[in-house]
Structure 1
Amino acid sequence: MERLAYGIGWLMGRLHGERGQDLIEYSLLGGFIALSLMLALAVAVAVLTGSLEGMVTGVGNCVDWNPSNDCNPF
């Protein structure tokens, strides 16, 4: 019976302790920051891809030497 009481006391002490709490908080914060950066990078790539495709098409029309195409690289 004494061992059971000791085991329960030890378990309750481990559950109420704050050891390792900082590590968990910093890992969650790091994960949130990484997720935010990936989202921002995905949005930036989508915006830049659309802009660059339009510019490449415009430059291609200028180099095409076809008088019916408008030369508007930007």
Structure 2
Amino acid sequence: MILTKPKSVNAGPISGTGEGVAHSKRWYVALVRMHHEKKVSERLSKMGIDSFVPVQQQIHQWSDRRKMVDTVLLPM
């Protein structure tokens, strides 16, 4: 899971005023419990923190049905 937090950086003049500010984001990596990545991402979103969790859709098959499941692409 990758987290970003806005940071203010002086990027030079805008329209000749000399007071330009660009917003860049810092990246953080969070270590979370296995199989809790999506839940942590939801909680961070509620707190106003952007997060990125790479997922891949796979078809899982049981004896009675097939279902499309999102699996996290991070190694264990």
Same fold (TM > 0.5): no
How would you bin the TM-score normalised by the shorter chain?
under 0.3
Task: Output the TM-score relative to the length of structure 1.
Answer: 0.17
More strand by share: 2
TM-score by length of 2: 0.17
Q: Which has the larger radius of gyration?
A: 1
By relative contact order (CA 8 Å, sep 6+), the higher-ranking structure is 2
Per residue, is there more helix in 1 or in 2? Answer: 1
